[in-house]
Amino acid sequence: MQHLGYEVIPVFFEAAYIFPNKALKVAEENGLELLVRDISQKHLEMLRNPKRGYGKNLNPCIDCHSLMIQEAAMMLPELNVDFIITGEVLGQRPMSQNLDSLKAIDKMSGAGDLVIRPLSQKLLPDTRPIREGWINKEQMLDISGRGRSRQLQLAEQFGISHLQPAGGCLLTDHNYSMRLGDLMIHNQDKLEDVRLLYWGRHFRLSEEIKLIVGRNATDNAGLESENYPGLYLKIRDVEGPLALLTVKEPPAEILELAASIVLFYSRKASSPGYIKYGVDKKFNNEIKVEKCPENIIRSYLISS
Ligand code: SF4
């Protein structure tokens, strides 16, 4: 669209499981200033009850596209622009980009008449930008289907740096969906709890309480950065994972179980061994426990 002379403002909609990092990198490589809007809360509300349901996992792709178009529509006055362009391709995804789905997306968003899909627009119903002559339909394309060769050719022709085509966001991942589903079943799918799902191994220790154990330094740093109002734990005498219980004052038996699981995840730690714990990441208490047997740990694990 830029090559056709239109001014384009690229926007990325971020959520607790949709991250802008790669898009920001590619935008920079292409000299584009990418606007990132955080719609985590709205996306989560939609995710609890998507009108058009889920894909294979907890991915509500049709409702997700619709929400993003709705959000983009609300930004039009602020950005002083006239219509919305998306990169959707007819038939690219079996669930969310067939003709019926695109029509549903347009209807649900309430802004479909302002949407142009340049890669497939010749195959789609005319919308206002075409009817009003803001854009010339003849300059639009007729790409359809799952193949990407024409898109890749175009990228080469225009010298566009791009990522390799890949799957969707974390909601299309089976393990992630298991962890998210567990939160939903337990009515704990608040944003701060959903944010934790990205880090570590997740254990359900009771109806109310979860334990999260970092798998590596990145997880440990991530868990630390979340500043969750729970109880943080770590091994006292050797290096080991950072862990988080999702309540500040767990019952004694849950604390002991959690500590024994944390101790298990250090080869260097002897058993029995000491676990330090405390709120606000002040590790001013300690408990002595045996390492939890692996078969018991497995019974609490929500997903691998
Ligand atoms: S894969 Fe994720 S980001 Fe993409 S449409 Fe589906 S739910 Fe939305």
Whose CA is closest to 15, among 253, 205, 176, 240? 176
Residue ranges of domains in the chain: 11-165, 173-300
Nearest CA to ligand 1 atom 4: 168
Q: What's the gap in Å between 167 CA and the centre of ligand 1?
A: 9
pTM, to two decimals: 0.92
Q: What's the confidence (pLDDT) of residue 93?
A: 85
Q: What is the overall mean pLDDT for the chain?
A: 96
What's the pLDDT tens digit per position in 6-40? Answer: 999 999 999 999 999 999 999 999 999 999 999 99
Confidence category of residue 304, pLDDT binned at 50, 70, 90 = low
Q: What's the gap in Å between 199 CA and the centre of ligand 1?
A: 20
Nearest CA to ligand 1 atom 3: 169
What's the pLDDT tens digit per position in 76-133? Answer: 999 999 999 999 999 998 778 899 999 999 999 999 999 999 999 999 999 999 999 9
Q: What's the confidence (pLDDT) of residue 44?
A: 97
Q: What's the gap in Å between 261 CA and the centre of ligand 1?
A: 34
Q: What's the gap in Å between 195 CA and the centre of ligand 1?
A: 17
What's the pLDDT tens digit per position in 216-268? Answer: 999 999 999 998 999 999 999 999 999 999 999 999 999 999 999 999 999 99
Nearest atom in ligand 1 to the alpha carbon of residue 62 is 5
Nearest CA to ligand 1 atom 6: 61
